[in-house]
Chain A
Amino acid sequence: MVITELKPIEKIWQNIAGFRKVLVLGCRGCSGICSTGGDREVKLLVSALNLIAEKEGKNFIALGQTLIRQCDPVALKVLPEFLKEVEAVVSLACGVGVNLIADLYPDLKVYPGTDTLFIGAHLGFGVWEERCRACGDCFIDKTAGLCPIARCPKGLLNGPCGGSQTERCEVNPEISCVWYEIIIRLEKRGELASLDEIIGPKDWRSTFGEGPRRRQREDLTF
């Protein structure tokens, strides 16, 4: 899922302090699941913003709504219903949600309430860690399912580097060396020979290509 984090409240307030009525818009997708922008967080942010407005002596009211997703125009169709007299929206979705609202409602002032951090896995209560960098050219079939682009600070395609010490990463000793993990697993699988083949230079066009990456499935479009 896309991992997000609530922006410092001072930054959120800075963007909306000049408005009188603001909608805090949550997302029950990734953002809700990682406790950044679900129903509960919308309620908390609305309450906090109204308190701040009172402290600042502003004529201001924050309202809250949560959509099933913000990364889908179908889910965003209902948004105008919530915008009566609303001057701005603070989105608690990931950056995709903010972008899509800005695309679909060009006259609406929308501001991010979160920072979008990474695509990650939930490792334990309150802990998420990056597992994919969405590079667009997945080769983890060769690395026992572990991605060195996301998990090696140097992003080495043919590792490990010379610096890893006792299974730990030299850049960040808090993490294990993913290349160490890859080799151990391939050895157990009897597939170590697959590393004899050098993984060639990566084609980064699939990552940083020409503008936003686009995927269109012919079997689903008309």
Chain B
Amino acid sequence: MKGKTLVFVCRELVLEDGIKDREDIVLKTLDCAGDLTVFEVLKALEEGFQQVFVVGCKKGTCKSRIGNLRAEKRMATVKRYLGKWAEGYRLEMVYLSKEKGQTLLDQVFKA
């Protein structure tokens, strides 16, 4: 498996150069962050990913209106299904601006 981090990202977002070459990150592009399913995230954890991020458009800019908000709720559902065991993983929703200047790596690995 390539790396331990899985990033689901909305197709609308422009990714910075080089991110696709990183060995520690697996990218999965979605037509909209709202297409993410709870099962996909749980499956990814079963496959061994320790960190799963879903990267959606900044609030108010989703082309599907609330796809990004749906994605956030689905990540919350994953945490609900895992209860206290979710603490062993990093499961996050990231809102990213479509404008230049804010990079995915900065957002995802800011902590």
- Given known A-B contacts A50-B46, A51-B45, A51-B46, A43 and B85 have beta carbons under 8 A apart: no
A residues 1-48 with Cβ under 8 Å of B? 6, 8-10, 13, 40, 43-45, 47-48
Query: How many angstroms from the CA of A47 to the CA of B42 in the assembled complex?
Result: 6
B38: Cβ under 8 A from any A Cβ: yes
With a 10 A CB-CB cut-off, give which of A13, A47, A50 has the most chain B CB atoms. A47
B83: Cβ under 8 A from any A Cβ: yes
Are A48 and B81 touching (Cβ within 8 A)? yes
A214: Cβ under 8 A from any B Cβ: no
Are B82 and A52 touching (Cβ within 8 A)? yes
Query: How many angstroms from the CA of A9 to the CA of B80 in the assembled complex?
Result: 8
**Complex partner residue of B88 from A6, A43, A55, CB under 8 angstroms:** A55
What are 24 pairs between A and B in contact, CB < 8 Å?
A6-B80, A8-B83, A9-B82, A10-B83, A13-B83, A40-B39, A44-B77, A44-B81, A45-B81, A47-B39, A47-B43, A47-B46, A47-B81, A48-B81, A48-B82, A51-B45, A51-B46, A51-B82, A51-B85, A52-B82, A52-B83, A52-B85, A55-B85, A55-B88
Given contacts A9-B81, A55-B88, 14 further A-B contacts (CB under 8 A): A6-B80, A9-B83, A9-B85, A10-B84, A40-B39, A43-B39, A44-B38, A44-B42, A44-B81, A47-B39, A47-B81, A48-B81, A51-B42, A52-B83
Residues of chain A lying within 8 A (CB to CB) of residue B82: 9, 48, 51-52
Residues of chain B lying within 8 A (CB to CB) of residue A55: 85, 88
Are B42 and A48 touching (Cβ within 8 A)? yes
B72-84 near A? 1/0 per residue, CB < 8 Å: 0000010011111
Query: How many angstroms from the CA of A48 to the CA of B46 in the assembled complex?
Result: 9
Residues of chain A lying within 8 A (CB to CB) of residue B81: 9, 44-45, 47-48
Chain A residues near B (Cβ < 8 Å): 6, 8-10, 13, 40, 43-45, 47-48, 50-52, 54-55
Going nearest first, the 4 A-B pairs with the smallest beta carbon separation are A9-B83, A47-B42, A48-B81, A10-B83
Query: How would you classify the secondary structure of chain B's contact residues: helix, strand, loop or mixed?
Result: helix
Chain B proximity of A79: nearest CB distance (Å): 24
- The contact size tier of chain B is 10 to 19
Residues of chain A lying within 8 A (CB to CB) of residue B80: 6, 9
Query: How many angstroms from the CA of A45 to the CA of B77 in the assembled complex?
Result: 11
B29-62 near A? 1/0 per residue, CB < 8 Å: 0000000001100110110000000000000000
Residues of chain A lying within 8 A (CB to CB) of residue B45: 51
Chain B proximity of A34: nearest CB distance (Å): 15
Q: Can you name the residue of chain A whose Cβ is closest to the Cβ of B48?
A: A54
Chain A proximity of B3: nearest CB distance (Å): 19
**Complex partner residue of B39 from A8, A44, A50, A52, CB under 8 angstroms:** A44
Residues of chain B lying within 8 A (CB to CB) of residue A8: 83
Chain A proximity of B81: nearest CB distance (Å): 4
Residues of chain A lying within 8 A (CB to CB) of residue B88: 55
Residues of chain A lying within 8 A (CB to CB) of residue B43: 47
Residues of chain B lying within 8 A (CB to CB) of residue A40: 39
